[in-house]
Amino acid sequence: MNPELRELYQSVIIDHGKNPRHFKEIEGYTHKLEGYNPLCGDRLTLYLKVKDDVIQEIGFTGSGCAISMASSSLMSEAIKGKSVQEAEGLYRRFHNMLTGSKADAGDEESDKLAVLGGVKEFPTRIKCATLAWHTLKHALQKSEQPVTTE
∠55-104-139 over CA atoms, to 5°?
Answer: 30
pLDDT tens digit sequence for 5-24: 667 678 888 999 899 999 99
How many angstroms separate the CA atoms of 131 and 34, rounded? 10
Residue from 127, 134, 75 nearest 98 by CA:
127
* CA–centroid distance for 124 within its chain: 16
Q: Render pLDDT for 83-104 as a digit per residue (tens, 0 to 9).
A: 999 999 999 999 999 987 655 5
> Residue 63: is its pLDDT beyond 90?
yes
pTM of the model: 0.89
